[in-house]
Amino acid sequence: MQPSRSEGGVRVPALRRPGMGPAMWIVEFYRSNVGKKAVMAITGIVLLAYVLLHMVGNLKLYEGASGMNAYAEWLRTLGYPALPEYGALWILRVLLAVSFVLHIHAAVSLTLTNRKARSVGYQSQRDYAAATYAARTMRYTGVIVLLFVIYHVLHFTTGHTHHDFVENDVYRNVVEGFSRWEVSGFYILANLALGLHIYHGAWSLFQSLGWNNRRFNPWRRSFAAIFTAVVVIGNISFPIAVLAGIVD
């Protein structure tokens, strides 16, 4: 069995060697560009599913305090009594945290690898333009999304950056938080950046998994556009509804 090799600037993972345990094979696979792209795609699917479900759950805001707080209570007691209170929620948080870290690490590693291989050049002017645009957009929007996630957790989960946080009163915390125009403005801008990141991520994850066919490209583009629009419009509607007095 030959070790992994490089072909055209792309590292190709070796087949599993005799005696190599599953853990070592996973590590070796992840060290390859193919492995990192697969991890980016899989973790991207997990994160895309989360942002969609998170937005759908937050639509409970329009049902008032009873609806949204009941939904928050359901999340806290999900799986109880088989699991302790907050048990399922913490499992989900750990899964998301691991997916987030792996997604960022794979993205940074691939970016550094692509920079080193830049002397090879792109095959066509179209590929060069598309790759440059996607790379620049994903890099900057990725940083914005990371900062937004940190602030969002400190704002609505722990309350450290909230001006008037009340434990377990989710509806009140959301309304009070978005009542400040600077906070709502930041959330709206951050979600627009998230939209750009989601659009390019949803479009490229199929290619990362090897599902790339010209016949399906229009479908992929439509899926990315519709998915992004649903998430972004839903998310920015919350601060706008509070500022407009629709929710109070």
CA distances to 29, 172, 245 from 65, rounded to whole Å, are: 48, 7, 15
pLDDT 10s digits, 69-116:
999 999 999 999 899 999 999 999 999 999 999 999 988 888 788 777
Q: Give pLDDT tens digits for 18-77.
A: 656 677 878 888 888 888 888 988 999 999 999 999 999 999 999 999 999 999 999 999
- Percent of the chain scored above 70 by pLDDT? 82
Residue 132: its H or E element: helix 125-152
pTM of the model: 0.81
- Residues 6 or more apart whose CB falls under 8 angstroms from that of 207 comprise none
Pair of tokens at residue 83: 């699991």
- The model's confidence at residue 155, banded by pLDDT at 50, 70 and 90, is very high
Q: What is the C-alpha to C-alpha distance for residues 148 and 223, in angstroms, rounded to an integer?
A: 25
For range 4-11, the mean pLDDT: 47
CA angle 86, 91, 92 (to 5 degrees): 95
Other C-beta atoms lying within 10 Å of the C-beta of residue 230: 14
Q: Looking at the chain, which runs of residues are DSSP E strands? A: 5-7, 10-12
Domains of the chain: 39-243 (1.20.1300)
> Regarding beta strands 10-12 and 5-7, do their DSSP bridges make them parallel or antiparallel, or are they unpaired?
antiparallel
Q: Which of 5-19, 47-61, 184-198, 213-227 has the lowest mean pLDDT?
A: 5-19
